[in-house]
Amino acid sequence: MPMPSESNLPATPLPGKKIRVIFGGSFDPVHVGHTAMLRAAIASVQAVAAIVLPAYQSPHKAHHPSADARHRLAMLKLAFAGMPEVEISELEIRAAHAVYTFDSIQILRAAYPDDHLALLIGMDQLRALHRWYRAADVLKAVRLLVMPRISSVDDSEFWRELAPHWPGQSLQIFRAAILAAPAITVSSTDIRRRVANGQSIAGLVQPDVERYIFTHRLYRAGP
């Protein structure tokens, strides 16, 4: 992808518009870090609502999610049951193929023309953002919110890695987009590994999600 120009910068909220946070991912499975991320994002921008957008298949990952889409949707509904401002969207799941974030945002902009959209991502996604399809256009369409996942948001190696792919002004905006919230240390990969090894996942996922995983025998190494 060619380097964006200085005009291709992340969008800023328009005066008088309500903010709606978009939070996409595989959620394989959803965990307490995901709910904490979204709560922090909603609070930070005083959003009126949020859309959780589970992927059928990420365009940025070679492998398919370990759990079937119906299971991931069910776990999301359990995890966010206590947050009435959150909508679980089946937009990408219904497509039954990998969907680019740019395309989903265009659909959501049409569905919520009176709202300003904010896209919540983690630091790992920020690192790979330059490889996204029409990344510069995504950033023009939404306000970016970044949840820290490393020990320090000023980590020099991290920013040196991003520097060749983005103009300096974009890097400044990325820094400003990082939420003042504790870094998330829980990962879906670790949870799947723990389940496969017969280890406890208590405290890493919501109790209802934990029960669902074991009731439906998800992520087990054997039959």
Query: What share of the chain in percent tops pLDDT 70?
Result: 88
Residue 14 pLDDT > 70? no
Q: Residue 64: exposed, middle, or buried by beta-carbon count in 10 A (0-12, 13-18, 19+)? A: middle
Tell me what pLDDT residue 182 has: 85
Return d(Cα 52, Cα 80) in angstroms, integer. 9
What integer pLDDT is reported at residue 16 of this predicted model? 63
Q: How far is CA 169 from CA 4, 19, 136, in A?
A: 11, 23, 13
Where does the pLDDT of residue 61 fall: very low under 50, low under 70, confident under 90, or very high at 90 and above?
low
pLDDT recorded at residue 9: 44
Q: What is the pTM of this model?
A: 0.89
The Cα 123–Cα 178 span in angstroms is: 8
Architecture of domain 18-215: 3-Layer(aba) Sandwich (3.40)
Amino acid symbol at 113:
P
Exposure string (b/e) for 110-140, b if CB count within 10 Å is 16 or more? eebeebbbbbbbbbebbbebbebebbbebbe
Give the pLDDT band of residue 157 (cuts 50, 70, 90): confident
Closest C-alpha to 121, from 158, 146, 149: 146
pLDDT of residue 12: 53
Average pLDDT over residues 3-28: 70
pLDDT higher than threshold 50 for residue 48: yes
Q: Give the per-residue pLDDT at 3.
A: 44
Mean pLDDT along residues 70-94? 97
Each residue's pLDDT tens digit, 92-149 = 999 999 999 999 999 999 999 999 999 999 998 999 999 999 999 999 999 999 998 7
Q: Is 176 exposed, middle or buried (0-12, 13-18, 19+ CB in 10 A)?
A: exposed
Higher-pLDDT residue of 156 and 13 is 156
Amino acid 73: pLDDT: 97
Q: How far apart are CA 51 and CA 73, in angstroms?
A: 13
Of 61-65, 79-83, 162-166, which gets the smallest average pLDDT?
61-65
Report whether 126 contacts 158 (CB < 8 A): no
Query: What is the predicted pLDDT for the residue at 167?
Result: 94
Q: What are phi and psi of 149, to 5 degrees?
A: -135, 5
Backbone angles phi, psi at 24, to 5 degrees: -105, 165
- Rounded to whole angstroms, how far apart are CA atoms 30 and 14? 31
If one compares 97 and 60, the residue with the highest pLDDT of the two is: 97
